Chain A
């Protein structure tokens, strides 16, 4: 059973890490979309 719990925690951690990365990437993308839509030159 401890092995199964370890695996559950490992997978949850991995998924949380990837979700955080994707959210960060989305925020950056929104920033650049806003710049492009408002016509602000970088």
Chain B
């Protein structure tokens, strides 16, 4: 991999804030939240110190993914307006520091998870890191428009890891949570990729709008929203959650489908006109937060 030009003198050590930026803190917040939800939904809660450590390890594992992703994609990030100011493309950090930081975080999070909770949780954490870095970032992302569909599995692991850290085994509810995030990822990312299409095109990443066009992407967003909504409501009829969750999930998913329908009907081709896409993207983040919050609240009510 050719080295990227450094605008910063090599002798200058990277600022600690840039190491924090390398972990993608905003993405990490959603990962931590869904991991915490998985842990809180477990039938038996671990002691506070172990639960805290499990969530810390999930956060550090997500941080490792962010760092290794930015290490591998430094040159691609430099071509996209959205990512050009990250520490590596902006020349504020050398590549080797990012690699060492990412690998170190990954090993640390997995070993601590295994020692503090159980090794099954550590295995799932390892799988999620390897899946994100090797399967999604290195293999799928630069090669296929289905990158987000399969790669979405990496982001779906945290509630499963949280649950397994608490219980030591896998059961139906965490698998359903995995399915919800897995099916939520394509509409979420494709809504974003519609209004940053030119960035992806400039970087040569075959995101669906770049490869298949706007109309096809909008259709796929709506089609994926249907099984996502079904998976979101499913815990209620399956007896894994109560009516508080079931009705809330139905309303939240209905609004999601309405917004996805607006995207389907949209004919905008300029980012400035893509209000429907921006609304769906913003709502999709709220949707996942709200869904998991209500699910935890519902379990506690019962």
Contacts and interface: CB of A to CB of B under 8 A. Distances in A.
A12 B48 CA distance: 35
19 contacts: A7-B12, A8-B13, A11-B12, A11-B13, A11-B14, A11-B15, A14-B15, A15-B13, A18-B16, A29-B49, A29-B52, A29-B56, A32-B49, A33-B49, A33-B53, A36-B46, A36-B48, A37-B50, A37-B116
The bracket for how many chain A residues form the interface is 10 to 19
Contacts of A14: 15-16
Given A11-B13, A29-B56, A33-B49, 8 more contacts: A4-B9, A8-B12, A8-B13, A11-B14, A14-B16, A29-B49, A36-B47, A36-B49
B49 A35 contact: yes
Contacts of B15: 11, 14
A8 B11 contact: yes
Contacts of B52: 29
A33 B15 CA distance: 31
B116 A33 contact: yes
Contact of B16 (A4, A15, A33): A15
Interface of A: 4, 7-8, 11-12, 14-15, 18, 29, 32-33, 35-37
A6 to B, nearest CB: 11
A33 B13 contact: no
A7 B53 CA distance: 35
Contacts of A37: 50, 116
Contacts of B11: 4, 8
The 8 closest A-B pairs by CB, nearest first: A32-B49, A36-B47, A36-B49, A11-B13, A36-B50, A33-B116, A18-B16, A33-B49
A37 B174 CA distance: 25
Nearest to B9: A4
Interface string B32-51: 00000000000000111110
A42 B48 CA distance: 12
Contacts of B53: 29, 33
A32 B46 CA distance: 13
A8 B12 CA distance: 6
Contact of A12 (B13, B47, B50): B13
A17 to B, nearest CB: 9
Contacts of B16: 11, 14-15, 18
Contact of A33 (B9, B12, B14, B50): B50
Interface in B3-44: 9, 11-16
